[in-house]
Amino acid sequence: MSYVLSGTGKAVCDGREELLAAGVCHICPKGSVHSIANTGDSDLVLLTVVVER
């Protein structure tokens, strides 16, 4: 789970794109192929929590 604190970006999880901006919570299930890219002019600041199952 990644919560966007500031900035803008794009997350891709198993081929599905999601736009990221402040206040958005992005969740990608365990075992998924994923990436996050900064698409803005300033830093993309995330709070990310990884839970071991």
Every domain of the chain and the residues it spans = 2-48
DSSP 40: S
14-40 CB burial, b ≥16 within 10 A, e <16: eeeeeebeeeeebebeeeeeeebeeee
Strand order in the sheet with 8-13: 16-21, 8-13, 34-38
Res. 53: pLDDT tops 80: no
Contacts with 31 (C-beta within 8 Å, 6 or more apart), sequence order: none
Average pLDDT of the residues in 15-32: 95
The token pair that represents 10 in the structure block: 């794009």
Q: What is the pTM of this model?
A: 0.89
Mean pLDDT estimate for the chain:
95
pLDDT confidence of residue 24: 98
Res. 50: pLDDT tops 80: yes
